[in-house]
Amino acid sequence: MKKILISIATLVLLTSSVSEEKVTIYCRPDIKIAIHNLKQLKYWVELDYKDNKIDDNMYTEYHIAIRSTILSLEMILDNKGQCDTTDKKVYELKYN
């Protein structure tokens, strides 16, 4: 979990847009709080994409990683098959 939080913090620093709006990012050993932080990060990535700060490939890779992590954490809280990988679909992520 500690590695996930460090990765999230790194992504936040690398992809966040400067905003007038204040955002609360929590640092607690709580899965719901981690999901909140990831949803905020997802929003920032979407803003960066719309502002052409990141390209299509990077946006897709960030989106897949963030969404999969959110779904995985949600499954810990309530497993409804949110992230079923039995189809063995593999994402080949490549940076330019």
> Percentage of the chain with pLDDT > 70?
62
Residue 75 belongs to domain spanning: 28-81
Judge if pTM exceeds 0.75.
no
pLDDT per residue as tens digits for the range 4-24? 555 555 555 544 444 557 888
For residue 50, tell me if it sits in a domain: yes
Residue 67 domain-assigned? yes
Residue 43 lies in a domain: yes
Question: What are the backbone dihedrals phi and psi of residue 59, each rounded to the nearest 5 degrees, phi first?
Answer: -60, -45
Note whether residue 23 is domain-resident: no
Give the tens place of pLDDT for each residue, 36-71.
999 999 999 999 999 999 999 999 999 999 998 998
Domain contains 17 = no
- Asked if residue 61 is part of any domain, the answer here is yes
* 91 vs 37: CA distance, rounded Å: 24
12 lies in a domain? no
Contact 42, 3 (CB under 8 A): no
70 in a structural domain: yes
